[in-house]
Amino acid sequence: MRIFSNIFLLFTTLVVLSPMHAQGPPAAVKAESHTVKAVPFAEKIQTVGTLRANESVTLVAETSRRLTKVVCVEGAQVKAGDLLFQLDDAELQTELLEIESRLSLALANKQRNEDLLPSKAISQLEADMTAAEWRVLDAQKQTKLVEISKTKIVAPFAGRLGTRKVSEGTFLTPAMPLIDLHDVAQIKIDFSLPERYASAIKVGQDFTFTIAGQGKVHAGTVTVIEPAIDPQTRSLLLRGICTEPEGLIPGGFADVSIPLSASATSLMVPTQAIVPSPRGHGVYLVTNGKAQFKEVTIGTRTNDQVQILRGLAEGDVIATTNLNRIRPGVDVSLVTTP
């Protein structure tokens, strides 16, 4: 009986196991593919920037005095030297009149002594003292004129005024802002780039930028390149200028695009072929029907392609679909090879 039981158990095992062995190796994963090749590629750097006025200043009083007259109009276009605010200068004007009276007397004494000196009617010392007194009073007059000039607040450059922050009768101090003045005849754009592009950017290089909510593409030119890399961000600060600032407002946010080369070629692969990896990015390279995971270094991204800087060579075939089923060493059946 035991012999028959063992034979029955062996037969049952063979019957159960035989279908599994009959299945054979797993079927190859079907996937579309892409053949890597060098194509013309005008590399562009995408970054963000900030719009700034060509010149901008917040006007303040240089001395602590009462504001007697507001001459400017908010939002108006002004020229360099236009009077904007008049401060109280009555005390200074009175002091100037006193100095001028003393100066007039000192000048008369100086001229009289110069006439008497050749005849020895006065000593050289007396002549020198009257001349020195005249020079001191003349210096005091010039100082007082400077103080009076500071009571007139004028536009340092041509531009457009902002909103006024004070009213007539206010006692002003040097810490109190009066009004902002912006020169928007041109607009500056400040932006930064990763340090690896430092050698590729030159003064005079053209770029384009757009503003959120506007469809217009504006043109700019690089005018300043910071001579040092920021050690905190490892980026390079640049400044450009836009000579047609219609619709642009200082302080705005700009999307900047800078072309690096117009005639270069580069290895480009479809965006969907890129697979994240612990070290960065990779692709599934298909060789002799077998999948191989290959680490790659990517560069610029476009809407549907990614630039490959390292890791692939022209002529390599990579999988572009069914990537979630592909693993290293798996058989891959290529459906198409564009």
pLDDT of residue 15: 42
Whole-prediction pTM: 0.66
The pLDDT tens digits for 14-41 are 444 444 444 556 688 899 999 999 888 7
Taking a C-beta distance cutoff of 8 angstroms, is the pair 266, 41 a contact? yes
The pLDDT tens digits for 178-191 are 999 999 999 999 99
Q: Where are the domains of the chain?
A: 29-41+264-334, 45-54+183-259, 89-150
Pairing type for strands 275-277 and 83-87 reads unpaired
The CATH code for residues 29-41+264-334 is 2.40.420.20
Question: Was domain 89-150 assigned CATH 1.10.287?
Answer: yes
The CATH number for 45-54+183-259, chosen from 2.40.50.100, 2.40.30.170, 2.60.15.10, 3.40.718.10, is 2.40.30.170
Domains 29-41+264-334 and 45-54+183-259 share a fold: no
CB-based contacts of 335, cutoff 8 Å, min separation 6? 30, 31, 32, 33, 321
The pLDDT tens digits for 282-326 are 999 999 999 999 999 998 787 788 989 899 999 999 999 989 999
**∠173-179-182 over CA atoms, to 5°?**
135
207: exposed, middle or buried (Cβ count in 10 Å: 0-12, 13-18, 19+): buried
